[in-house]
Amino acid sequence: MGSGESWKGQPLVDRQHPHDLFSELSVSYSYAFSKKVDAFAYFGYPGEPALGSVAFMHRPSALANPDAPVSHHWNDGTHITFGVATLGVRVDKFKLEGSLFTGREPDENRYNFDKMRFDSWSGRLSFNPSRNWAFQVSHGYVKSPEALHPGEDVNRTTASAIFSLPMRNDNRMNVTTLWGLNKTPGHEGENAFLLEGAWQMKKAAVYTRYEWVQKSVEELDLDPAKYGDALFPVNALTAGVSYDLLNIAKTRLALGGQLSVFFDDKSLHDLYGKNPLALQVYLRIYPGLMKM
């Protein structure tokens, strides 16, 4: 029940769209006034504005899961933005950032560089009280993100908390919880909630993810004449394991599997069935943990 972006002029629903070959090309500069105060500037083409938590593919709690969250476009859907400029300042454990960026999501050509527009803005406040915790709240105005709906702008608000606990023998536990809200003019706000966790051992990882997302008729590409302006709650629960088969030159090859179960609204049972299941087996290549 994932959705977002398009292919050959058709909306992508129940599919995981590919990302552009160049996901980030950026430069940044920071200046420290003291040990507790510094300022920085960032430019990306493409890059990531100050909106949402860290993108799912970079979250420690989601590294082993090959699927994008159903709530991706409620939190970190702007992580590949063709044209973003950010200014920020850190004062002790707080960081305040503001971005100007291109609201339109990448086009269907995955190898080109899209036009920079700088028609959207966002702000984010982060708080890191210790080495184990990271909190953020953010809000942004995203101008015309979907090419198929050029007249729709989105106001997005997010909040998240990330917990990380290193343990002995390279074991570590990571947990993320986040909330996101998308609001378009003339429509009800659509909420999303995610809770995910992972326990990484030397060679094995055990992980899980729960999501609750409100999907609109437009988001699911349904017939408005039949379904009206309803919002459909979608619940998804995933559990998985992976195991490293090889570790060569700081590069690992893992074999994994996961099971997902979806709890959809009764009115969607004729399309998806009752509590549809998804089973995946995958191979994953990823870099080893960097140590300092």
For residue 2, pLDDT over 70 is answered with no
pLDDT of residue 211: 96
HSE-up (13 A, CA, CB side) for residue 253: 5
For residue 1, pLDDT over 60 is answered with no
Range from 10-14, 165-169, 183-187, 280-284 that averages highest in pLDDT: 280-284
What mean pLDDT comes out for the span 83-96?
97
Average confidence score pLDDT of the chain: 90
For residue 28, pLDDT over 60 is answered with yes
Greater model confidence, 291 or 195: 195
- Give a yes or no: residue 3 inside a domain: no
- Give a yes or no: residue 15 inside a domain: no
Secondary structure class of 38 (helix, strand, coil): strand
Range of the domain at 173: 22-287
The helix (run of H) or strand (run of E) holding residue 116 is none
- Give a yes or no: residue 88 inside a domain: yes
The amino acid that residue 35 corresponds to is K
Q: How many domains does the chain have?
A: 1
Secondary structure class of 260 (helix, strand, coil): strand
E strand segments, 106-250: 120-127, 133-142, 154-166, 172-183, 190-200, 204-216, 231-248
- Give a yes or no: residue 6 inside a domain: no
- Give a yes or no: residue 2 inside a domain: no
For residue 91, pLDDT over 70 is answered with yes
Q: Give the pLDDT band of residue 110 (cuts 50, 70, 90).
A: confident
For residue 185, pLDDT over 80 is answered with yes
What mean pLDDT comes out for the span 49-76?
91
Q: Which range (30-39, 64-73, 176-185, 204-213) has the least confidence?
A: 64-73
For residue 199, pLDDT over 80 is answered with yes
* Token pair for 280: 């995946």
- Give a yes or no: residue 11 inside a domain: no
- Give a yes or no: residue 44 inside a domain: yes
CATH code for the domain of 51 = 2.40.160.10
Distance CA 182, CA 88 (A): 24
Percent of the chain with pLDDT over 70: 96
What mean pLDDT comes out for the span 122-131?
97
For residue 292, pLDDT over 70 is answered with no
Contacts of 78 (CB under 8 A, 6+ apart): 48, 49, 51, 52, 101, 105, 122, 140, 142, 145
- Give a yes or no: residue 4 inside a domain: no
pLDDT of residue 131: 93
